[in-house]
Amino acid sequence: MFQVNPDFLYYLHGRHRATLQYDVGRDIFLLHNIKFKIDKANARISNANEELRLVETNSSATKNMTATKLKIPEPKTFNGSRKAKELENFLWDIEKYFKAAHIPKQGREGMASIYLYGHTKL
């Protein structure tokens, strides 16, 4: 039968022990690293939950507030003057009024005729 040298067995045992110690040490390091990352992720989740709670609290507070309606000054009427500056001012005023009043583009032509007077309406 085959005989194994005891020194060789001792050598293998020591070598195996060193490999195991290295593997265990590496695994422990990896586990600590994973735990650190999990703790960091949990902290970020906690911060996100706190921010979400603040947003929910603030949004519920604003729901109870009543909206104030702004009075938008109406543009001056246009009388058909041939002065370019007056026409330009009227068009600028009416455009700003439509944007502030949130009037859709489809209804603007009809609304603009309200601010014309005299022979301009013809």
Task: Determine the Cα–Cα distance for residues 61 and 102; give it in Å rounded to an integer.
Answer: 26
| Below-50 pLDDT ranges, the chain | none
Q: How many domains does the chain have?
A: 2
The whole domain housing 94 covers 84-121
- The answer to pTM > 0.85 is no
Residue pLDDT, tens place only, 11-33: 667 777 777 677 778 888 999 99
The two structure tokens encoding residue 58: 């603030």
Is residue 31 one of the residues assigned to a domain?
yes
Residues 62 and 89 in one domain: no
List the structure tokens of 48. Answer: 């996100």
Residue 99 located in a structural domain:
yes
Same domain flag for 57 and 93: no
Q: Find how far residue 71's CA is from the centre of its chain.
A: 31
Helices of type H across 6-83: 6-63
- One domain, residues 62 and 88: no
63 and 90 share one domain: no
